[in-house]
Structure formats: C-alpha cells, structure tokens
Amino acid sequence: MSKTGFPAAARQALGDTQMRRNVGKATSTIRARRAARVAEVPDWEALRDAGAAIKARAMATMPEQLERLEASVTRAGGKVHWARDAAECNAIVGGIAAGHGARQVIKVKSLATDEIGLNDALAAQGVEAIETDLAELINQLAHDTSSHILVPAIHRNRAEVKLLFEHTIARGQDLGWDITAIAEAARRHLREKFLSVPVAISGANFGIAETGTICVVESEGNGRMCLTLPRVLITVMGIEKVLVEWRDLEVCLQLLPRSSTGERMNPYTSLWTGVRAGDGPEEFHLVLLDNGRTDVLGDELGRQALHCIRCSACLNSCPVYSRTGGHAYESVYPGPIGAILTPQLRGLENAPTLPYASSLCGACYEVCPVKIDIPSVLLHLRGRVVREYKSRVSPEALAMETVGRVFGSQRRYEQAQKLARLGHGPIVAAALPGWSAMRGLPEVPEQSFREWWRSRPARPVRGDGAGP
C-alpha cells in the first residue's frame, strides 16, 4: 500500500461523511462506557501504576522472560519458534500448515498477523485464511483494511454490513435491519468451518513466562472455537506480550476489559498451556515475533510504546482519530498508539508524518491503562524525525533556523515584529500558507506590548517593592 502521509490521507478521510458519522458515534459511545466502568473502580489509578510497572518489568527483563516462556511452553508439550521478521514468521506458519496438508486455516483476530501480511503469504502458497472475528470477516469480504484496533469494521454501519453479507455469505437472503440477524448470518457461515477446519491461527494478548500460559481475550466465542476444536493451533505472539508471572493477570484482566469495551469483563478469556491430552489441539506452536520490536526496545524513551495492551482507549479518546478514522494512519496500528508505534516498528523514514498527527492534547495519556506517556513520545519522535530523517536544508528547517536566530536576539526579534506589522518577515512567511486557507488572520496591532511598555511614564520605584 503506497503511503501518502497523514495530512493528505486525513484530508481524504475527513471528506467521507458516512465514515465520520460512524466513527464519531462509535468513539463517543465507547468513551462514555469506559468512563462509567472506570468510575466504578476506586483503585483505578493504583491499578494503572501497577500495570505500568508490570509492563516495564517485563520489558526490562525480556531475554530472561522469553527463555522462561519457551521452557514452560515446551515442558507442556508445545513447540516454540522464533521469527526475526515478517518473512520468517510467514514461512514458519506456512510450513506448519503445509506440513499438515491444510488448504484452509481458521483465524482469530490478530493484529500481529495483519502486521506481517500473513493471510496474503498463505494465499500465495494456496492456503485460504478464513477470518472468524465478525469485524475481520466484514473487512475480508469487503476487501477492506482494519480501521480500529478493537472494532476493526467500525467505519461501517449496519446498512453497509447488511448489504455486504447479502452479496456474499448470505446471498439471496434478506437479513432485515436487526443487527442480531446480521450477526446470525455470520454464525451460520462460520459454524461449519469451526467444526471441520483442522488448523487454526491466533494471536496472544499475554504470554506468562512463569507458567507458559497464553491468554486470548475476546467476546464472540470464535476465539474459543479456534483455540479448542482444531487439531493444530499456531499462535503468533509479538515478543513484547510476555509477562513475568501469573499474578500479573490480576491487574491486566482488570485494566483491559474496562478500558477497551467499557465492560467489567469481556465474555470469554481463554488461558492455555502447551497441549493437554483429551482437551483441545493435539499440537501447539508458539511463534515469537520480533519484526522491528527490538528497534522499539532500543529507544529508551520510545520503548514504552511496547507496553500497549491493545485496549484502544487512546483511539476512542483522541479528537484526531475520532474524526479521521483509522485508515488515515495507513497502518495496522492507528490512533495515538499507532502514531508512536508504527514509526518505530517500520522505521521513521517510512512514517515521518505520524508523530505530527496530534495536537498534543493529552487525552490519550489520561486514559491509557498502563500510563504510556504518548505526548512525550510523540515529541521525542518529532525530534528524531528532524535529526535523523529530515534534510537540514528543507524549507521548514531553514525557516526554523531563521526564526530561531530571530528569537535568539532582542534586536532581531524587535525588527521582525515591525516587519510582521507590514505583513512581511520570517514569522509571517513561516506561518501564513497553511493558516489563512481556513481562518481569519489577526491583524498585527499598531503597537506591540513592549512598545506600549516603553511609552509609559516612568513609575517611581519603591525600594520595598510595596504597592503603587
């Protein structure tokens, strides 16, 4: 997918009034639900502090935790693979599928597998990956991409989904306008797949090093289906999902549901270790994925982006995301978290506009359950973009240099003020084009503050500094 950059992509998205209505309504609804469920919890701030530390601790000791996780999973009869990048991960997964002669695999929603383009890689070797999450199914049928971390098809309303289904999985039927009937069509279509397809692929919300437990949090039951019924289960897990101990879940399982869907607890959470005779898959593969995560880890300030538990609270609270929707970010990870994670994962040169896709209002930081300081990381990445990627002789860099020198000297500054009054000068030139396309420019007053100050009659200075 060619990238146009956020400003241009956002401009296009902002013109899509249906999407704006859908996303605006969705985000304001979830915001309210989240707020209500969080307000119920008297120790919410203490949970956030614990969550931040739990994540930081896991990142700081990551090599040890990954080795422990591998040992625990292996002990329980699972097989652990390591993938340096997307290609290697796709090859591993494809190899396992091929080894079992699979022509189809069923999938639980996994952002990591979207990130590496797994479905396309499998298709190239003749394996059809069937998405079983309702939203992922919608996007798959519409040949569309996800626009939200949690509710990937939120940019579509029920009318659009109804028509889509009536053209695809429920051909010839009239589904009516009730969302229940629309969801029923998905259920019927997928039931047969759950009962027959022998290989499933999932992601993971958490991987506990101490016990080897993998955790998947979901609502519909398609996760449970994929994790339980097939003979072979392959889980692709980003290395940053590892947690140190079982006890960590007592915090994370409180933070995640309330922050994401605004529920006290999501309908289904599955926790399993390796394989279990007589219960679930006979074969379990865990693929630990790097694909740029170690680059993020290498930036001391930026690495907190890896703490993300994929709740999407930041997306729902963001005044930018709630208007532009997710496609404007041109990434599997949109919104505020995407603006700090994507450039670090993919390389700044591949997403240089994302750190600027924010007014730095701070709403995201307020709601992040693990206290990722997104505004600070955005500023940090802007600095890195300028230092590492931008040319020092770009028009912007030259303008900034000029303005910087003006501000560095009282004389040059006062000169520039006078020029601004005439509609000229470096400050006006730097700011004018983007601004006045949309807003009235204020007139520069005849007399600046300092000129007024100098024109005041001299005031007697009282030595004791008391009143006038």
Partner 1 sequence: MRVALFITCFNDTLFPQTGRAVVTLLERLGAQVDFPEAQTCCGQMHTNTGYQNRGRSLARRFERVFAGADAVVSPSASCVAYLRENGGGLDGRLAELTEFLVDRLGVEDVGATFPHRVVLHPTCHSVRLMGIGDRPRRLLERVRGIDLVELGNAAECCGFGGTFSVKNADTSMAMLSDKLCDVLDTGAEVCTAADNSCLLHIGGALRRQRAGVRVMHLAEILAAT
Partner 2 sequence: MSDGREAVLARVRAALGSSPEAPEVPRAYREAGAFGAGGDCATVDLFCERVADYRATVRRVRGEELLGALVTACEQRPARRIAVPAGAPPWTVEGVDLVRDDPQLSARQLDELDGVLSGCALAIAETGTIVLDGAGASGRRALTLVPDYHLCVVRSNDIVPSVPDGVAALARVAAEGRPITLVSGPSATVDIELVRVEGVHGPRTLDVFVVEG
Site residues (CB under 8 A) for partner 1, limited to 360-399: 360-363, 365-366, 375, 379, 382-387, 390, 396-397
319 binds, among partner 2, partner 1, none (CB under 5 to 8 A by kind): partner 1
* Residue 223 binding partner 1, by CB under 8 A: no
Candidates 11, 103, 264, 418: give the one binding partner 2 (CB under 8 A).
264
Residue 288 β-bridge partners: 82, 237
Tokens for 145?
């991409």
Number of residues interacting with partner 2: please give it, by CB under 8 A: 99
* Residue 268 binding partner 2, by CB under 8 A: yes
Place of tokens 């398609």: 222
49 binds, among partner 2, partner 1, none (CB under 5 to 8 A by kind): partner 2
Beta strand 214-218 with 128-131 is unpaired
Tokens for 389?
């990627």
Distance CA 137, CA 169 (A): 10
187 binds, among partner 2, partner 1, none (CB under 5 to 8 A by kind): partner 2
Q: How far is the CB of 72 from partner 2 (least distance, A)?
A: 8
Q: How far is the CB of 152 from partner 1 (least distance, A)?
A: 21
Distance CA 333, CA 326 (A): 8
Q: Of 168-176, 250-258, 373-381, 394-402, which segment contacts partner 2 by CB under 8 A? A: 250-258
Report which residue type is found at 453. Answer: W
Q: How far is the CB of 4 from partner 1 (least distance, A)?
A: 13
* Residue 424 binding partner 2, by CB under 8 A: no
Q: How far is the CB of 51 from partner 1 (least distance, A)?
A: 20
Task: Outline where 304-391 has alpha helix (H).
Answer: 313-317, 321-324, 335-346, 363-367, 374-384
* Nearest to partner 1 of 143, 462 (CB atom): 462
Tokens for 263?
């529920």
Candidates 83, 320, 332, 372: give the one binding partner 1 (CB under 8 A).
320
Distance CA 151, CA 320 (A): 17
* Residue 465 binding partner 1, by CB under 8 A: yes
Q: How far is the CB of 452 from partner 1 (least distance, A)?
A: 6
452 binds, among partner 1, partner 2, none (CB under 5 to 8 A by kind): partner 1
Q: How far is the CB of 219 from partner 2 (least distance, A)?
A: 5
* Residue 298 binding partner 2, by CB under 8 A: yes
Question: Are 320 and 9 spatial neighbours (Cβ–Cβ below 8 Å)?
Answer: no
User: For residue 331, how far is the Cα from the chain centroid?
Assistant: 9
Candidates 250, 366, 396, 451: give the one binding partner 2 (CB under 8 A).
250
- Distances in Å between the alpha carbon of 71 and those of 3, 54, 210, 281? 41, 21, 9, 19
422 binds, among partner 1, partner 2, none (CB under 5 to 8 A by kind): none
Question: Residues 4-33: x/- map of binding to partner 2 (CB under 8 A)?
Answer: ------------------x--xx--xx---
Q: What H or E segment, with its residue span, contains residue 426?
A: helix 426-436
Q: How far is the CB of 125 from partner 2 (least distance, A)?
A: 19
Tokens for 310?
């994929």
Give the footprint of partner 1 on residues 428-457 (CB under 8 A).
Answer: 431, 433-435, 437-442, 444-445, 447-453
Among 408, 355, 361, 350, smallest CA distance to 377 is for 355
* Nearest to partner 1 of 214, 340 (CB atom): 340
Q: What H or E segment, with its residue span, contains residue 242?
A: strand 242-243
* Residue 467 binding partner 1, by CB under 8 A: yes
Report which residue type is found at 64. Answer: E
390 binds, among partner 2, partner 1, none (CB under 5 to 8 A by kind): partner 1
* Nearest to partner 1 of 246, 407 (CB atom): 407
Tokens for 97?
């599928």
327 binds, among partner 2, partner 1, none (CB under 5 to 8 A by kind): none
Q: What H or E segment, with its residue span, contains residue 53?
A: helix 44-60
Q: Pick left, alpha or beta for residue 457 (phi over 0 → left; psi -120 to 50 → alpha; otherwise beta).
A: beta
Contacts of 383 (CB under 8 A, 6+ apart): none
Q: How far is the CB of 54 from partner 2 (least distance, A)?
A: 6
Contacts of 180 (CB under 8 A, 6+ apart): none
Question: What is the full DSSP assignment across 436-461?
Answer: HTTSPPPPPPSS-HHHHHHHSPPPPP
Between CA 241 and CA 131, with CA 284 as vertex, the angle to 5 degrees is: 70
Residue 376 β-bridge partners: none
- 138 three-class SS: helix
* Residue 446 binding partner 2, by CB under 8 A: no
Give the footprint of partner 1 on residues 229-288 (CB under 8 A).
Answer: none
| Residues at the contact surface with partner 1, assessed by CB under 8 A | 6-7, 10-11, 14, 319-320, 323-324, 355-363, 365-366, 375, 379, 382-387, 390, 396-397, 400-401, 403-404, 406-410, 413, 417, 420, 427, 431, 433-435, 437-442, 444-445, 447-453, 459, 461-462, 465-468
